[in-house]
Structure 1
Amino acid sequence: MSALQLDFNKTALVIIDLQKGIVQMPGGKEVVEKTIPLVKLFRENDGFISFVNVAFHDGKDALQPVTDAPAPSGERTADWAEFVPELGVQPEDYTVTKRQWGAFFGTDLDLQLRRRGIETIVLCGIATNIGVESTAREAFQLGYNQIFVTDAMTTFSQEAHDASCSFIFPRIGKVRTLEQFLSDVR
């Protein structure tokens, strides 16, 4: 495992779906706790932070393919898409609202990263094998270097989390725990 050489002028922290309606899932609170030091590190180094949430205008803008395993449905509270307050989203942070799994498709995230000269993204959030992995695959196709902080992610099963972290992420970026990441960059 090679050491990380981060230039905070060329690196962005991209946080996927740490919003009130999603962090309620098992493991969500722990992901928020692991993400807080990342936010702090990027703030201390004037790094670019993008908070990504998923929300829908009227529900008709949500993907609705015919599948064998439909997405969970149900009532969403009025604050469902709001970022959790523990992360302390600031006015200078860049927020992205997506309407599908990945944070790049149909948003201006790529444009905003490129305008700032970002070459590397650090990814964390929920769900490992859905929002995070979809964003990671898009970022890979767009040519970004990536670092995955795997214990600042969770999903609906350990098996699904491990599959992304063991078989997908190492092929498209560098995989680290929070402790490994922090010791590499400090």
Structure 2
Amino acid sequence: LNNKMFHREHQYQETVKGSGADFVEELKPYLDENTIITSPHKIFGPESNDLALQLRKNGIDTVILAGMNANLCVDSHLRELVESGFHVHVAADATGAPGQEAYDAAITNFGFVADRTMSTAKVLEEL
């Protein structure tokens, strides 16, 4: 595992300093005080943070996942959230992987577990 991918100077820093990482512009209007961003980042599953608790406290039963490592973080969170009873959708074009082969494998697996795998445009259309 290349831990540089997850390195942050401070556990509550939402992006990797100097990386240019930011939220997708089209999604920024939907980020508000009701948006849940868990921290610190964990490689696997919401049981290592309070994501499931925060979702349930806010009456949320549907999650849209995206991320920079489809076949590790996104896949792990997808499986754990589904097992915890949430409806989970994956924004496929807002999800990356270390190479096309890994990405294709992850997208295939998402099809077996996620409620839906769709494009960011489709997510925005349905919000």
**What is the CA-CA distance between 1:50 and the residue it aligns to?**
2.6
CA distance in 1, matches of 2:71, 2:34: 24
CA distance in 1, matches of 2:100, 2:107: 10
- Residues 36, 54 of structure 2: 8 Å contact kept: no
Residue 15 of structure 2 is aligned to residue 19 of structure 1: yes
CA distance in 2, matches of 1:106, 1:19: 19
CA distance in 1, matches of 2:46, 2:70: 16
**How much is the aligned-residue C-alpha RMSD, in angstroms?**
2.6
Q: What is the 5 A alignment of 1:30-41?
A: 32=22, 35-40=24-29
Larger radius of gyration: 1
Q: What is the aligned length?
A: 114
**What is the CA-CA distance between 1:132 and the residue it aligns to?**
1.0
Normalising by structure 2, what TM-score?
Answer: 0.74
1:108 equivalent in structure 2: 50
SS in 2 for 1:96: coil
Instruction: Name the structure, 1 or 2, with higher relative contact order (CA <8 Å, separation 6+).
Output: 1
Sort the Cα spacing of 1:120 and 1:159 in 2 relative to 1 into closer, same or farther, 3 A.
same
Residue 118 of structure 2 is aligned to residue 129 of structure 1: no
CA distance in 1, matches of 2:121, 2:50: 31
Structure 1 unmatched runs, 5+: 1-17, 52-94
Q: In proportion to residue count, which structure has more strand?
A: 1
Deviations 1:117-149 (A, max 9, x none): 110001111111111111111101101101111
Residue 105 of structure 2 is aligned to residue 158 of structure 1: no
Structure 2 unmatched runs, 5+: 1-13
% identical equivalent positions: 27
2:40 equivalent in structure 1: 97
2:36 equivalent in structure 1: 50
